[in-house]
Structure 1
Amino acid sequence: MAATAVSRKKKGASPNIFLYIPNLIGFARVALLIASLFFMTSNPYVAMSLYWLSAFIDAFDGMAARHFNQCTIFGSVLDMVTDRVTTLCLMMTCGQFYPQYMVAFQLLAVLDISSHWLQMYSSMLSGKTSHKFIKLEENALLRYYYTKPVLFTLCSANELFFMALYFAHFNINGPEVVAFSVSASVREWIGWITFPLFALKHLISLIQLVAAASNVAKVDADNTNLQNKAR
């Protein structure tokens, strides 16, 4: 009898979502990011090693969630917030290094956070578990953007562009490379090559902001119509 009661209790126990493997990976990313902040202005090599390790293990939380059947709304939100905060920290550091461009960094930060927050919120309103799930009838550009190859390419280019700015402050340039009759350092080439992709990513963020705001407004309009019909 006692064994049966214990067995029933175990079966009825709620799972600890915080201890799911993909969420533990997310917490590790946060810890690595926080550690990198202590070196951002003093030791760029240590700072960027920790920063990129945090970004690297981001590739495994989604894989773990699918493999262990541990996909959760909390995990999706944790992943999105960690991504945004990680980039924000690097942007804030660049803003400190280049105060003449502070307003530009602030506007980029506002656009990045607000567009993803609205996209996440509108996704939750429609019953989705992730802001990356775009239905066929929804925005075609965003649906293409959230495919793995495109998302990985644009996000990586965005991070590399900010890193090029970051390393420029410390005059860390790398060896000279000659291409197309142009001689420039590795850092300069990375900055030039990634800038168009960086700009494209933030243009898509603006489109995402408008699309998500429209989706939320549509939900409000539908609810208002239902309330009016019920009167």
Structure 2
Amino acid sequence: MSARTRRQKASLAAQQSEDSDLSPSGKGNGTIKSPSKASRSASKEEESEENVFLFAPNLIGYSRVVLTIASLYYMPLHPRTCSILYSVSCLLDALDGYAARYFNQSTTFGAVLDMVTDRCTTACLLVFLSSAWPRWAIIFQSLIAIDMASHYMHMYATLSMGGASQSHKKVEASRSWILYQYYHSKTVLFICCALNELFFIGLYLLSFSSPTLSPSLLQPVEGTQPGSMQTGNPAHPAPTSLFASPWSAGALELARANKIDSFWPWVITGISAPVMALKQIINVVQMVNASRWLVEGDLANRKAAKKGRKH
């Protein structure tokens, strides 16, 4: 190999080494180096090592959704199965918070998933109670509206006024003493939420068992046939001919009759009723407090805008 060839090869190798040290644009003084393949790989692994959707508390949240859907499927005719599934879903609400703290996996997505699941679960049960007792439907509808409005306004006020990273459970005592006590103590929060749901579960069970609340559950004396609701009309025909479709409201009403004993549902409802009432008061306080907080922000923005126009 000639000296000229060796010099050409050495020059080419030096040029390639210099190019590799330049920035990706190919311009510069040779002191800026592009990231090595190993560092790029490590960076990608660091970015992809956490999948928030698969965090432990969020997995618990998904299981709550599945249990809630299953309880809704059994809700019309299977009170025991529905109550068990619904209760387990509600109890897991406490477990996901513990998992978030234990694994240090508290996320905004998890907080929103938890709240949305709670609100939708309770709303679905209240919808059933509205159909079971249509004369009292306006009360159950009002409870749904207060629950949804209260938590939505509180969450929105917290995120917009307190900051995107602030939890909706962080309430200062100076802003609302009752909300501070409600959210500050995990025991108080659990008892209020659990007994509130227990009250509605008790009402749900009573719709299957208490002729006092649901006169339609009364069965005719054996060997007799009920008279018509309208004077002068003959006795009602057989229920099978009245409700040919097993999915009609009347057929479901008859199928629901006298399924369980009403003693324990009355006990559950009676014990949990005061706490349920307290929970509704807290919902109203929360809605009023969130409204005032949002108005404070509106006034501050309007003052800032007026000052900006003057200058």
- The TM-score, its normalising length taken from structure 1, stands at 0.90
Q: Which of these residues, 130, 141, 165, is aligned with residue 178 of structure 2?
A: 141
Q: 1:15 Cα shift?
A: 3.5
Equivalent position amino acid for 1:152 in 2: F
CA RMSD of aligned residues (A): 1.5
In 1, the alpha carbon distance for the partners of 2:304 and 2:104 equals: 37
The residue aligned with 1:182 is none
Instruction: Verify the 8 A CA contact 1:33 1:86 in the aligned structure 2.
Output: yes
The residue aligned with 2:18 is none
The residue aligned with 2:278 is 200
What 5-or-longer segments of structure 1 have no aligned partner?
175-184
Residues 133 and 3 of structure 1: CA distance in aligned 2, closer, same or farther (over 3 Å) = same
Larger Rg: 2
Query: Where is the helix percentage greater, Structure 1 or Structure 2?
Result: 1
The residue aligned with 1:8 is 43
SS at match of 1:104: helix
1:47-96 CA-to-partner distances (Å, cap 9, x unmatched) read 11111111111111111111211111111111111111111111111111
In 2, the alpha carbon distance for the partners of 1:45 and 1:80 equals: 26
Asked if residue 223 in structure 1 is aligned to residue 301 in structure 2, the reply is yes
Equivalent position amino acid for 2:175 in 1: E
Instruction: Verify the 8 A CA contact 2:90 2:194 in the aligned structure 1.
Output: no
SS at match of 1:38: helix
Instruction: Verify the 8 A CA contact 1:76 1:129 in the aligned structure 2.
Output: no
Asked if residue 114 in structure 1 is aligned to residue 114 in structure 2, the reply is no
Q: Which of these residues, 91, 106, 116, is aligned with residue 81 of structure 1?
A: 116
Asked if residue 129 in structure 1 is aligned to residue 207 in structure 2, the reply is no
The residue aligned with 1:162 is 200
SS at match of 2:169: coil
In 2, the alpha carbon distance for the partners of 1:42 and 1:186 equals: 18
Q: Percent identity?
A: 41
In 1, the alpha carbon distance for the partners of 2:47 and 2:181 equals: 41
Residues 129 and 22 of structure 1: CA distance in aligned 2, closer, same or farther (over 3 Å) = farther
What 5-or-longer segments of structure 2 have no aligned partner?
1-35, 210-259
Q: Which of these residues, 46, 66, 73, is aligned with residue 81 of structure 2?
A: 46
Instruction: Verify the 8 A CA contact 1:72 1:129 in the aligned structure 2.
Output: no
In 1, the alpha carbon distance for the partners of 2:264 and 2:72 equals: 25
1:17-56 aligned within 5 A: 17-56=52-91
The residue aligned with 1:173 is 261
